[in-house]
Structure 1
């Protein structure tokens, strides 16, 4: 019986096989990806033990897929270089496009998670995050997507060898034209971003603009801010105007209490102690005023008509300034009348003499009538 000789296995030739190297590279990439996923899972568990908001957990979970995909794509690129099945430039561009898409999607989701965490912290009252609400969150959400999309398109065009210089020039010209045509709108938009970031006012605050307009902020938009006056009239103020005008926020500070000054003048002959005993009792029980903040009666000095005083009280709601003035002034008038104290007013005596006085006297005082 004839026996065929068994050929010795050429190990070096087998290891030099491109197919075996490609397969080994893919298997190694899968193992590395699994190791990275396991490491990230452990990091997730440690982060969950340290923090309670879950932001680190979500961010690390979002990074697992793009990191694993990156390892696999690198292995595929290396395998393609060994096998030479397709054009290497085309393979690099295709795999690079996959990486751009995967990482862009991960970045958008990560930005959404960060925005959600910031909004939750703003609702809990964390300092410095008052601008994270409503349209501000929507704007950041939109801008993140636009930036990621444009950056991804640029990278894809570079990967496929497209000429991006013409696109850059066109985008620059279009941006210059739009900026010149909509400079007022852009100014209002930039001012809105500064208002959200600096947060000099918030929705619900009572403000005074340039000492002339008073009202409550009802909405802060990207073009204008809406203020509702005490007369029930809504005024739209361009955001660029708010960036240049003097704004007094009566709702800012440790509390919303705003001091009112009600001045009045009484006749001579009264002392400040007497006036305090007459006016101050009963102020704490008046509506529209803060009962926990004591009222003051200050003597401001004499005038030509009498003694000038000022009653200082605090409003409970800055938006009801006119109502508070009405209540305080009415209390002053009632208290003075009950005590028999008269308000002083200016009076002037006019003395007329000479020929003009004689003519006026003759015209006003009739002479004796003659009998006919």
Structure 2
């Protein structure tokens, strides 16, 4: 009996045996945690009305599994008392792999979350369907930068000096490309504020008017009625008065034409003529019907106004 105890005591003190126990223990713990998440938590999440919690659990259970496993492997490598350089390399690899796995999972979770939130907000927040690419790209860039930062730390790099250098370079680039930076910020606020969307017919105070064909971070492109595409920097649009003729519940809009007729003219005949011209024009809506209004007595005639509706702003 004492011999068995002595053998067991010797095994327990053996670093290879201890490392193996940690590997087995981490594997069992990882499997147990994975089972709890995929079975119990998933079952609880399925009872909720929302689907986002189900997706988040499906995405995050793998990173948790590998994180527990890598912790056990890291402890095992440390217990083996290998040369410092080998231990450092293995620990760095485990940390880097864990960071990459978590980064990919956060990419997916973030994408699913913003899609879900944009559907829930129903246009009441800045996170909408047309702003999803912007938030998606910004989120991915932030996650990528944070991942790179932690990978550098895991390999023992002095990140503070790098950050200082990067900050200086960023300031120089921002000053050299201030117009581009201004356009980028303007593009962000245009997408967030949504003064117009793709397909809208807009009119700027500079005289440009047409259908919006593209909204980018740097510029907006509109197509005029002459089939000429105009590219406008977002900073210019952000500082302009924008008339969105497609805004409102419908694209249909009313047109007002002011005219003057001489005193003594037959107003009924004028009205009949204007109504006939309007009703025979294919671009004028039949409902609501065109109508004429008296405005005022001018210096040389009676001021009248013809009002009618058109289906599309480009028919103006």
Taking structure 2 as the reference length, what is the TM-score of the superposition?
Answer: 0.82
Is the aligned partner of 1:222 residue 2:217?
Answer: yes
* Aligned counterpart for 1:44 among listed residues 42, 45, 48: 42
Structure 1's 6 and 208: CA in aligned 2 closer, same or farther, altered over 3 A?
closer
* Aligned counterpart for 2:75 among listed residues 67, 78, 85: 78
Deviation at 1:195, TM superposition (A): 1.4
**Residues 117, 127 of structure 2: 8 Å contact kept:** no
| Structure 1 match to 2:226 | 231
Q: Distance in 2 between matches of 1:130 and 1:315?
A: 33
| Structure 2 match to 1:332 | none
Q: Distance in 1 between matches of 2:267 and 2:294?
A: 6
* Aligned counterpart for 2:58 among listed residues 44, 58, 61: 61
Structure 1's 185 and 37: CA in aligned 2 closer, same or farther, altered over 3 A?
same
Deviations 1:76-107 (A, max 9, x none): 23334444345465554343222212212222
Is the aligned partner of 1:320 residue 2:315?
Answer: yes
- Tell me how many residue pairs correspond in the alignment: 311
Deviation at 1:220, TM superposition (A): 1.9
| Structure 2 match to 1:187 | 182
**Residues 19, 76 of structure 2: 8 Å contact kept:** yes
Runs of 4+ in 1 over 6 A off after TM superposition: 271-274
Q: Mean alpha-carbon deviation: is it higher for 227-236 or for 299-308?
A: 227-236
| Structure 2 match to 1:98 | 97
**Residues 126, 193 of structure 2: 8 Å contact kept:** no
Query: Greater CA radius of gyration, 1 or 2?
Result: 1
| C-alpha RMSD over aligned residues | 3.4
Secondary structure of the structure 1 residue equivalent to 2:5: coil
Structure 1's 116 and 304: CA in aligned 2 closer, same or farther, altered over 3 A?
closer
| Structure 2 match to 1:109 | 108
Secondary structure of the structure 1 residue equivalent to 2:198: coil
User: Which consecutive residues of structure 1, in runs of 5 or more, have no partner in the other structure?
Assistant: 322-372
Deviation at 1:40, TM superposition (A): 2.4
| Structure 1 match to 2:28 | 31
Deviations 1:24-51 (A, max 9, x none): 4333322322222222223335545545
Is the aligned partner of 1:151 residue 2:146?
Answer: yes
